Structure 1
Amino acid sequence: MTEKGHLPEKGFPYGSSSGNKEEKQPVSIWVIIPVVATVLGSGIPAGYCLGVINTPQEIIRTWVKATVLAHSEHLLTQTEELYVWAVIVSTYVIGAVMGCPLGGFLAHKGGRRMGLFINHLLFLVAAALCTTCKLADSIYMLIFGRFISGVCAGLSCSLMPMYLSEVAPEALRGVMAVLLPSAMCLGLLLSQILGLEFILGTRECWPYLLGGFGVPVTIALLLQPLLPISPAYCYIVLEDEGRGKKALHQLRGGPSKSVEAEEMALHALMIKNKFCEHGLSLMGMIKNEKYRLPMVIVMIFNMGQQFSGINAVFYYSTLIFRSAGLTNKESQGASIGAAAVNWIVSIIAITLIRYTRRRALLLNSAALCVVAQGILMASLALIPSVSAASYISIIAMLSFVFAYNLGIGPVPFMIATELFSVGPRSIGISIGSTSNWISNLIVGLTFPLVQDLIGEYSFICFMVSSTLLWIFTYKYLPETLGKDDLTTSNTPTSLEDSSSDTQTDV
């Protein structure tokens, strides 16, 4: 064990690419099980609930009007109907905003596994409410089910990247952190496909469509007893070195490698001797100068992800395509195509994250998003006079989804795992996730109004946002590839300091 007097002055970059490399080991089954369980129980349901409300919206709105009329003998006006629908849609995001900080608290106080168990259990409750709301003839059950599923989505955004990055071997930590957006994209695609009229998007089957995410959640709950504990949580939070070594032994498929075990033990010792922080509060991190820039980076990236306009596509994609002159079936097909591209490129991004610099991914992704949105806006404006413009708009929208998933999509979900050490990591991830969902809520509530006011030119707002994100990334983001804990090594502590540490990666 390293003596207190010999601890490094700058802190210890746990999980970073230091000079000591362990020999490569095959990924054990105890790493694969957490991946399967969290993808099925957290990632897929979060994406599924995000998109499932889009395709059958006309059928559900008809049921809402009929239910209100039956219970109160009041026929909703068009404005009242839109208001009720906005509540049904937005309660999911409001729940997610509340769930994000709760995820960080659960991860630190109860442990990563306990947090995931609570998350999966609540997801199952939400699925039951959504499935039985029509049978009970209750709009309130639908709204409450959407709210609980939103809380669970927020928990997923905090818990899943943190847990997977801590149980994974060093070489796969970046990959593990971006499995969440990929799983969400898959859930979104499944919801769009199952929502087709000839599958579950009917007047009789839509409740089973809304609660369909309960199937993968049930499988995840059955896998819950097999989930290994996080070694980092044992060493850093529980301060139980013996339990941490057992966890490493299980995860690595044999005796724990001395380098990884010694790194965690050293980090725990540094925390004990006040060389680095552990269990910081939010105010403590705000007051600590070295955490300010990482917090700003995490917040800006997560806000920029939502203000890029991606969820305008999936909340209102059918509306966009129908206003472009497509039929209802053509609009649904285009929405499913966008969701398919979204998922396929998210799979490609998993490999890119492992080998590509984060600055390069973000800079190129933001630039391509601006170009694609410009073409989309122009093609939508030309639809009344140019017949081919409707097809160009579809291609432009798919191109935007492709560009988004190259960098703006995956990087914000994993950047906090590389900017913060284990101690403050739960708060850092919660801050990013909360910023993400608040921005999601703003876009979801304002986009229909802006679109109604200025039509296709509403995409100018998203183009400006992506341009500002490009500028911020170019000026202030330090490269984090292979450097998990920049807050304890060489992260600049102010925006002025950071400009000298960045480099051109376009």
Structure 2
Amino acid sequence: MSQYLKLLLDLPVVIATIFIAGIGGTFQYGFSVSVLTSPSVFIMDLVNETCVQRYGVSLESWQVSLIFSFIVSIFCIGGLVGSLAASPLVSKYGRKRCLLFNNFVAILGALLMLLSRKALSFEMIMVARILYGINSGVSLCAHTIYLIECAPKRLRGMVGVTVATFISFGKFCGQLLGISELLGTAERWPWLLGFNGFTALLQLATLPFLPESPSFLLLNRGDRQACENALRKLWGNKDYTREVDEMMKENVSMQNVSSRSLMDLFRDKSMRWQLITIIITFIGLQLCGINAVYFYSFDVFRAAGIQEQQLRYAALGTGLCEVTASFACPFFFKEFKRSMHDPV
């Protein structure tokens, strides 16, 4: 691991790419997952207050909880839409441009969040959550592809892990900013929900200084010179003729492979065990309960007997554990792999 880390430190532009792409990429997804926990009480109050002011009806607690659950879960619907739209977008407009335009979706959602309390409209929060979901779905795909294609082959594994690291970091920041000493108060909670807009602005201001994916420039645009210029900017001023030729050979080999539908994938016996492995892994991830812990962590910890004033800090501890694990796991996996190959 140390040799890969040393190699990465010799590539400052790649390091900048990791942080700039991450802060406006999967960070947004992680932040949106955990951010609603702290201001949940204030959002429910807004729901009830909206109905009283607009319709003269005071909702029962179960009705407020139902609306709040819809606000929480509608993010996933936006994420599905964004992830389905990501593939044609990154292929047509490029990885970098897709990330740039995606920031405007987050900024629009942030404006709706900031104005929701003043407008006395919980519906604005719902729409903003859909926009955040779309932004997260697109960024999860575009961020991953952009990073992998900008990194040298030897570093793609290490760089790819940072995608999950920024998800964990986003969850932790959502919990950290949600404590009462920062933005988790009755007056400042709209700023907490609108924080995605600030990270989107940060990426919008810095990402234009980075090059487009070399692979996209060569294979999608057919611009060999731009590809070589991007490689020099990312990896240093050297001759990358061999790397470009490898990309061309890989593209030629892929052109000889016919595209397949989803049903073809299920019918292909040679891919059956890989497909089963992926399905079981993701089903286990969804059913392990981690999303419920983040979405409803206060309720979970309250049911566990944790005192009300300590709930925010208990939730913060879960995010800190995940961030720590995301940093430590690559090192453990490397040592485990080495121990498996070393003779006893």
TM-score of the two chains, using structure 2 as the length reference: 0.88
The equivalent position to 1:326 in structure 2, one of 293, 296, 306, is 306
How many residue pairs get matched?
334
- Say if 1:222 and 1:170 are closer, same or farther in 2 by CA, change over 3 A: same
SS of aligned partner of 1:213: helix
Aligned mates of 2:333, 2:203 — CA distance in 1: 26
Aligned mates of 2:309, 2:235 — CA distance in 1: 50
The equivalent position to 1:138 in structure 2, one of 121, 124, 128, is 121
The equivalences for 1:195-234 within 5 A come to: 195-234=178-217
Q: Which amino acid aligns with 2:312?
A: Q
Q: Does the 8 Å contact 1:174/1:353 carry over to 2?
A: no
More helix per residue: 2
1:186 and 2:169 aligned: yes
Q: Does the 8 Å contact 2:20/2:207 carry over to 1?
A: yes
Match of 1:307 in 2: 287
SS of aligned partner of 2:119: coil
Aligned mates of 2:278, 2:139 — CA distance in 1: 17
The equivalences for 1:15-30 within 5 A come to: 27-30=10-13
Aligned mates of 2:129, 2:185 — CA distance in 1: 19
Aligned mates of 1:141, 1:176 — CA distance in 2: 37
The equivalent position to 1:316 in structure 2, one of 296, 300, 324, is 296
- Superposed CA deviations along residues 452-486 of structure 1, whole A, max 9, x for unmatched, are xxxxxxxxxxxxxxxxxxxxxxxxxxxxxxxxxxx
User: Which consecutive unaligned segments of at least 5 residues does structure 2 have?
Assistant: 1-6
Deviation at 1:250, TM superposition (A): 2.2
The equivalent position to 1:98 in structure 2, one of 81, 84, 92, is 81
Q: Does the 8 Å contact 1:179/1:350 carry over to 2?
A: no
Deviation at 1:226, TM superposition (A): 1.4
SS of aligned partner of 2:67: helix
Q: Which amino acid aligns with 2:300?
A: I
Q: Does the 8 Å contact 2:178/2:312 carry over to 1?
A: no
Q: Does the 8 Å contact 2:109/2:131 carry over to 1?
A: yes
Q: Does the 8 Å contact 2:21/2:207 carry over to 1?
A: no
SS of aligned partner of 2:296: helix
- Percentage identity across aligned positions? 27
The equivalences for 1:419-434 within 5 A come to: none
User: Which consecutive unaligned segments of at least 5 residues does structure 1 have?
Assistant: 1-23, 361-502
Aligned mates of 1:353, 1:118 — CA distance in 2: 36
Aligned mates of 2:216, 2:10 — CA distance in 1: 20
- Say if 1:306 and 1:77 are closer, same or farther in 2 by CA, change over 3 A: same
Match of 1:337 in 2: 317
The equivalent position to 2:155 in structure 1, one of 136, 157, 172, is 172
Runs of 4+ in 1 over 6 A off after TM superposition: none
TM-score of the two chains, using structure 1 as the length reference: 0.61
Match of 1:149 in 2: 132
- Say if 1:337 and 1:63 are closer, same or farther in 2 by CA, change over 3 A: same
- Say if 1:298 and 1:242 are closer, same or farther in 2 by CA, change over 3 A: farther
Q: Which amino acid aligns with 1:151?
A: I
- Say if 1:298 and 1:256 are closer, same or farther in 2 by CA, change over 3 A: farther
Aligned mates of 1:124, 1:185 — CA distance in 2: 21
- Say if 1:285 and 1:234 are closer, same or farther in 2 by CA, change over 3 A: farther
SS of aligned partner of 2:103: helix
The equivalences for 1:361-372 within 5 A come to: none
Q: Does the 8 Å contact 2:83/2:141 carry over to 1?
A: yes
Aligned mates of 2:228, 2:263 — CA distance in 1: 33
Deviation at 1:259, TM superposition (A): 3.9
Deviation at 1:293, TM superposition (A): 4.8
1:262 and 2:258 aligned: no
Aligned mates of 1:123, 1:154 — CA distance in 2: 11
Aligned mates of 2:44, 2:164 — CA distance in 1: 29
SS of aligned partner of 1:135: helix
